[in-house]
């Protein structure tokens, strides 16, 4: 199973940094890539190998699979990118970044992309307000929110 996961990767070495292309899911919408040095590359592959050993359950998906999952999210544009500190996270890999087209009605807004699992200052509120409604009062909203919670 580990080797079947590895066939999805294309290794491109550039100035001692490895750029790995991840194309694994049938519903992938953009390319998934991550940029790592050789020691981190070894850790990423070890994480993938460990995750597919039979009998293991629970825990986080390996960072490589999380990058691929993000690349399949609705409305994603560009690439799902793992930065040099990438490792398994909660939803998104830690160090994984992505952009979404907010003009696409199927797009998502995901606090998981910032690190809500360790309370990295993410607050998400769903309203029926439009940008036009909020624009004139956004500074007041920020100040009220900021001083109330911090």
Helices (H), the chain: 2-6, 38-51, 63-70, 131-134, 138-149
Whether 7 has a pLDDT exceeding 60, the answer reads: no
Which residue did the predictor score with more confidence, 4 or 86? 86
Question: Sorting pLDDT into bands at 50, 70 and 90, what band is 119?
Answer: low
Q: State mean pLDDT over 123-138.
A: 84
Cβ atoms of residues 123 and 145 within 8 Å: yes
Which residue did the predictor score with more confidence, 14 or 80? 80
For the stretch 12-35, pLDDT in tens is 545 445 555 666 567 888 888 888
For the stretch 52-66, pLDDT in tens is 775 555 567 888 888
Residue with tokens 């919670």: 149
> Looking at residue 15, what is its pLDDT?
44
Whether 1 has a pLDDT exceeding 60, the answer reads: no
Tokens of 70: 């993000």
Please give the model's pTM, rounded to 2 decimal places: 0.67
């Amino acid at each position: 199973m580990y080797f079947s996961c590895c066939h999805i990767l294309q290794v491109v070495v550039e100035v001692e940094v490895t750029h790995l292309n991840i194309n694994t899911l049938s519903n992938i919408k953009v390319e998934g890539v991550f940029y790592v040095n050789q020691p981190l590359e070894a850790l990423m592959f070890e994480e993938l190998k460990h995750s597919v050993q039979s009998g293991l359950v629970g825990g986080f998906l390996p960072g490589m699979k999380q990058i691929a999952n993000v690349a399949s999210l609705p409305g994603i544009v560009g690439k799902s990118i793992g930065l040099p500190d990438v490792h398994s996270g909660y939803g998104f890999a830690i160090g994984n970044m992505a952009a979404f087209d907010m003009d696409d009605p199927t797009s998502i807004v995901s606090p998981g992309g910032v690190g809500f699992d360790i309370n990295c200052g993410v607050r998400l509120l769903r309203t029926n307000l439009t940008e036009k409604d909020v624009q004139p009062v956004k500074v007041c909203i920020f100040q009220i929110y900021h001083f109330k919670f911090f």
